[in-house]
Amino acid sequence: MKIGILGLGLIGGCLGLDLGSQGHDILGVSHRESTCKKAIELGCVHQASLDLSLLVSTDIVFICTPIGLIVPQVAQLASYLPKTTILTDVGSVKAPLVAEISPLWSNFIGGHPMAGKTDTGIDFAQRNLFVNRPYVLTPVATTPTRAITVLEEIVRSLGAIIYHCQPEQHDHAVSWISHLPVIVSASLIASCLSETDTTILHLAKNLASSGFQDTSRVGGGNPELGVMMAQYNRDPLLNSLQHYRQNLDEFIQLIEQQQWNTLEEKLKINQQARLDFLTKC
């Protein structure tokens, strides 16, 4: 198959490596000449160009740009591609994208591979990033069955575990387990900085260990990504944040009122719930 990859970052690069190794013909487009060169050098793509017209004869195109560019890119691609070309994206938010793209391109399926690395960029592309990772697909009622079948087959060939759901269900689910943790964790870092006694702040820094390190990790991550997810998944995220705030207030109240037995009960439920959450079903 001729597979196009638009946006040659970590995810685009990893897709290219895996799919190229299966014998597909991989065509990449980036907005930077140096990235095009690197993508060919690293074996992520067979051909690369700054020009969208490279993708004109592809069977399927994976759009791997930052979320904010996905809709504009589809609008541009629409004038180059035959109507049979399947389009899919890898953005971490689905409902607003699917709503905007569906009227532009019927052979579009929203996608979200739940895979990544701390290091970003094509330099860190590797084989088998998607193996045993969830890969969400959000076809809608009007999506042609053929497009779903073709994309599913490719995703399955990456070793990923496919989940189907509505775009809105995806966005609510990731608001809990992916976007809420970012704000929770960011607020932790910000609040530590509010300590005005420099001796205590200095001591806190020196004593900070794995507990602080893990809890603050996603809140200290890529700021552009953080803003994107808040911007594109605003309503589900605000809903999650309101629930979070209520739960936080309950914990504060239990500590204020010294209700230690109830606190212990809640922490026991939590301990079990986390194990359940991390055991896939």
In the complex, least distance from residue 27 CB atom to a copy of itself, rounded to whole angstroms:
30
CB atoms within 10 A of CB 113: 22
Site string for a copy of itself, 122-161 (x = CB under 8 A): -----------xx-x-------------------------
Beginning with the edge strand found earlier in the chain, give each strand of the sheet holding 47-49 in spatial order.
47-49, 25-29, 2-6, 60-63, 86-89, 108-113, 134-138, 161-164
DSSP state, residue 160: P
Buried-state track 5-43, b at ≥16 Cβ within 10 A, e below 16? bbbbbbbbbbbbbbbbeeebbbbbbbeeeebbebbbebe
Smallest separation, CB 66 to a copy of itself (Å): 13
Query: Of residues 119, 141, 145, 280, which one binds a copy of itself by CB under 8 A?
Result: 280
Fill in the per-residue mask, 56 to 95: x = in contact with a copy of itself (CB under 8 A), - = not in contact.
Answer: ----------------------------------------
Q: Choose, by CB under 8 A, the member of 41, 151, 163, 167 that binds a copy of itself.
A: 163
What are the tokens at 95? 């409902």
Answer whether 235's CB lies under 8 Å from 168's CB.
Answer: no
Q: Applying CB under 8 A, which of residues 31, 37, 146, 245 lies at the interface with a copy of itself?
A: 245
Comparing CB distances to a copy of itself, the nearer of 37 and 243 is 243
x/- track of binding to a copy of itself for residues 214-243 (CB under 8 A): xxxxxxxxxxx-xx--xx--x--xx-xxxx
